[in-house]
C-alpha cells in the first residue's frame, strides 16, 4: 500500500485537530497518549491496513480490530487529567474512528 505514510500523517493531523477543538487544555498529555498508542499498534495497523485494502478483511473487521486495541491507550494518563469516564470513552472512540476514516479515504 503506497499511501501508508500519508495515511499515518493524515491520522495524526486529524487527531491534533480533534484535541485542539475538544481537549485543548490537555493537548500535550493526550498527544503523548496518542503517540504511545500508535507506536504500540503500528505493525498491526500496517498489516490490517494492507489486508483491508486488498479485500482480505471487511471494513467492519478492520474497525473491530482497531477498537480492540484501544485498551493500549494510556488510560491512566487521561484519568489523571481529570476527565470523566464518558469523555475519555468519547476520546478513545474518536481516535479509533479517525484511523478507520482515514484508511477509507486512501483506498
- Which pLDDT value is given to residue 28? 81
Grid coordinates in use for 85? 469516564
The per-residue pLDDT for range 2-61, each reduced to its tens digit, is: 577 787 888 888 888 888 877 788 778 778 877 888 888 889 988 998 899 899 999 899
Residues 7 and 53 sit within 8 Å (Cβ to Cβ)? no
Q: Looking at the predicted structure, is the pLDDT value of residue 66 above 80?
A: yes
Q: What angle do CA 88, 22, 78 make, to 5 degrees?
A: 30
- Which pLDDT value is given to residue 5? 78
Amino acid at each position: 500500500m503506497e499511501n501508508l505514510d500519508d495515511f499515518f500523517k493524515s491520522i495524526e493531523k486529524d487527531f491534533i485537530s480533534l484535541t485542539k477543538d475538544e481537549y485543548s487544555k490537555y493537548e500535550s498529555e493526550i498527544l503523548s497518549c496518542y503517540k504511545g498508542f500508535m507506536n504500540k499498534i503500528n505493525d498491526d495497523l500496517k498489516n490490517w491496513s494492507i489486508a483491508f485494502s486488498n479485500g482480505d478483511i471487511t471494513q467492519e473487521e478492520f474497525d473491530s480490530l482497531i477498537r480492540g486495541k484501544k485498551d493500549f491507550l494510556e488510560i491512566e494518563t487521561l484519568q489523571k487529567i481529570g476527565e470523566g469516564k464518558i469523555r475519555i470513552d468519547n476520546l478513545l472512540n474518536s481516535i479509533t474512528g479517525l484511523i478507520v476514516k482515514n484508511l477509507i479515504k486512501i483506498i
